[in-house]
Amino acid sequence: MRVLVTRRWPEAVERALGERFEVILNDTDKPLSQAELAAAMGEFDVLAPTVSDCIDADVIGGGDRVKLIANYGVGFDHIDLAAAKAKGIAVSNTPGVLTDATADLALTLILMAARRAGEGERELRSGQWTGWRPTHLIGSALRGKVLGVVGFGRIGVATAERAKHGFGMTIAYYARGPKPEAEALDAEFCAELEDLLGKSDFVSLHVPGGGDTANLIDAAALAAMKPGSYLINTARGGVVDHDALADALKSGHLAGAGLDVYPHEPQVPEALLDLENVVLLPHLGSANAETREAMGMRALANIEAFAKGGDLPDPVA
Ligand code: NAP
C-alpha cells in the first residue's frame, strides 16, 4: 500500500509508518501544490494531509487510486467531504489526542490577552520599559468573570474545566442543545448566541470551521458582545469576520482578543498586525511534542485499519 504524507511528521511516527507501508515522506516540509496533490490521487492508496493542504473537489478529482484521506488533525474543513464521498473515498481524523493541548492554548490566549502579555513583552524588548509602577499595563482579573464557550465539544469543555477549576471563572456556553458535561461545571446553557455574547467577559470559540460556522462572529455578533470583553479563537479563522474584529478592537468596544487561527493562513489580516490589544499566535493549538506524536499515531491507526479492511477508528465521512 502506498501512502503519501504531505508534510513532515514527528520522527517516531514517520519511522512507524515506514516500517509498515511504502511511504513517501516530505523531507523538505514544503507544502505540495494543488497540482501535486491532485496527481497524488492517482498514484497512492492513502493521502495523509493536514490543515495546510486544501483538499478540494479539483484535487479529489485528480485521480482514482486514493481510497482513504487520513487527516493529521481533528479539524477537516479543508477537505471537501462531499467530493470524497461521491468518489467512495473514506476520510479519517485524529480526535481527542489534541484536546488538552488546544485547551491549554486557549487558556494561554485568555491569560495573554487579559494580562497584556504581548504588549508587555514588546515594550520590554524594544527598550521602552521604564520600571514598575501602579498604573502600568493594567489588565483584567479572571476570577469571577464569565467565560462564554461557543461550541461545547471536546476542546470547549476542556477549556471550560481549566477556566473554572484553575482560574475561578463562571462558565456559560452556546451549543445546538444542552450538554451533559455542563452539569459538573455548573455551566449555563444559552440557546441563543446573542444571549451568551451579551453576558460573557471572555468568549472562546470551539466550533468546527466550514459552511455552518462561517462568519458566525460577524459585526452584529461583535456588537452584541459585552463592552470591554475579550474574544479568543483557537477554532478556525473563517468563524470570525476579521475586519469587523479589527474595528471592534480599535473602537475599544472589545478590550482585547487572542487568535491562533486565520482565514487564509499563513496570511494574517493586515488590520490586526498594528493593534496592540490583540495576541496573534501562529496556529500553535496542538503544538507540543507529546500531542503531535499522538496525532501521528492516531492517523497511523486509521491507515492500518484501512489496510486490514476493518472499520476506521475515526471516520469523518
Ligand atoms: P468537537 O468535539 O466535535 O466539538 C465541536 C463542537 O462544536 C461540537 O460540540 C458541536 O456540536 C459544536 N458545533 C458544531 N457546529 C456548531 C454550530 N453551528 N453552533 C454551535 N455549536 C456547533 O471538536 P473538538 O475536538 O472540540 O475541536 C473543535 C475544533 O477546534 C476543530 O474542528 C478544529 O477546527 C479546532 N481545532 C483547532 C486547533 C488549533 O490548533 N488551533 C487544534 C485542534 C482543533 P454538536 O455536539 O451538537 O455536534
Q: Report pLDDT for 107.
A: 99
- Number of structural domains (the chain) is 2
Q: Report pLDDT for 291.
A: 99
Say whether 236 is catalytic. Answer: yes
Does residue 237 share a domain with residue 295?
Answer: no
Say whether 265 is catalytic. Answer: yes
Does residue 226 share a domain with residue 169?
Answer: yes
Q: Report pLDDT for 102.
A: 99
Q: What is the pTM of this model?
A: 0.98
Q: Report pLDDT for 49.
A: 98
Does residue 121 share a domain with residue 239?
Answer: yes
| Catalytic, out of 121, 192, 265, 290 | 265
* Domain containing residue 232: 99-280
Distance from Cα 81 to the centre of ligand 1, integer Å? 16
* Ligand 1 and 176: CB distance under 6 A: yes
Asked if 40 and 89 touch (Cβ cutoff 8 Å), the reply is no
Q: Report pLDDT for 52.
A: 97
Among the listed residues 226, 229, 239, 253, the one whose alpha carbon sits nearest the alpha carbon of residue 156:
239
Does residue 271 share a domain with residue 172?
Answer: yes
Does residue 249 share a domain with residue 153?
Answer: yes
Q: Report pLDDT for 214.
A: 98
Distance from Cα 207 to the centre of ligand 1, integer Å? 4
Which CATH number belongs to the domain containing residue 64 in this structure? 3.40.50.720
Closest atom of ligand 1 relative to the 157 alpha carbon: 26
What is the rounded distance in angstroms from the CA atom of residue 237 to the CA atom of residue 241?
Answer: 8
Q: Report pLDDT for 42.
A: 98
Distance from Cα 101 to the centre of ligand 1, integer Å? 14
Q: Report pLDDT for 4.
A: 98
**If you take atom 8 of ligand 1, which residue's CA is the nearest one?**
153
* Ligand 1 and 210: CB distance under 6 A: no
Does residue 315 lie in a domain region?
no
* Ligand 1 and 263: CB distance under 6 A: no
What is the rounded distance in angstroms from the CA atom of residue 91 to the CA atom of residue 283?
Answer: 23
**If you take atom 6 of ligand 1, which residue's CA is the nearest one?**
153
Does residue 312 lie in a domain region?
no
Does residue 47 lie in a domain region?
yes
Does residue 316 lie in a domain region?
no
Q: Report pLDDT for 88.
A: 97
Does residue 83 share a domain with residue 107?
Answer: no
Q: Report pLDDT for 161.
A: 98
Does residue 85 share a domain with residue 26?
Answer: yes
Asked if 59 and 35 touch (Cβ cutoff 8 Å), the reply is no
Does residue 77 share a domain with residue 205?
Answer: no
Tens place of pLDDT per residue across the chain (317 aa): 999 999 999 999 999 999 999 999 999 999 999 999 999 999 999 999 999 999 999 999 999 999 999 999 999 999 999 999 999 999 999 999 999 999 999 999 999 999 999 999 999 999 999 999 999 999 999 999 999 999 999 999 999 999 999 999 999 999 999 999 999 999 999 999 999 999 999 999 999 999 999 999 999 999 999 999 999 999 999 999 999 999 999 999 999 999 999 999 999 999 999 999 999 999 999 999 999 999 999 999 999 999 999 999 999 97
Backbone φ and ψ for 297, nearest 5 degrees, come out as -65, -35
Say whether 162 is catalytic. Answer: no
The residue with cell 500553535 is 284
Among the listed residues 146, 25, 160, the one whose alpha carbon sits nearest the alpha carbon of residue 99:
160
The single-letter code of the amino acid at 262 is Y
What is the rounded distance in angstroms from the CA atom of residue 204 to the CA atom of residue 99?
Answer: 14
Q: Report pLDDT for 272.
A: 98
Does residue 314 lie in a domain region?
no
Does residue 150 share a domain with residue 268?
Answer: yes
Does residue 230 share a domain with residue 275?
Answer: yes
Does residue 201 share a domain with residue 91?
Answer: no
Residues 6+ apart with CB under 8 A from 130: none
Q: Report pLDDT for 164.
A: 98
Q: What cell numbers appear for 199 in the block?
A: 453576558
Distance from Cα 132 to the centre of ligand 1, integer Å? 41
Q: Report pLDDT for 207.
A: 98
Does residue 41 share a domain with residue 112?
Answer: no
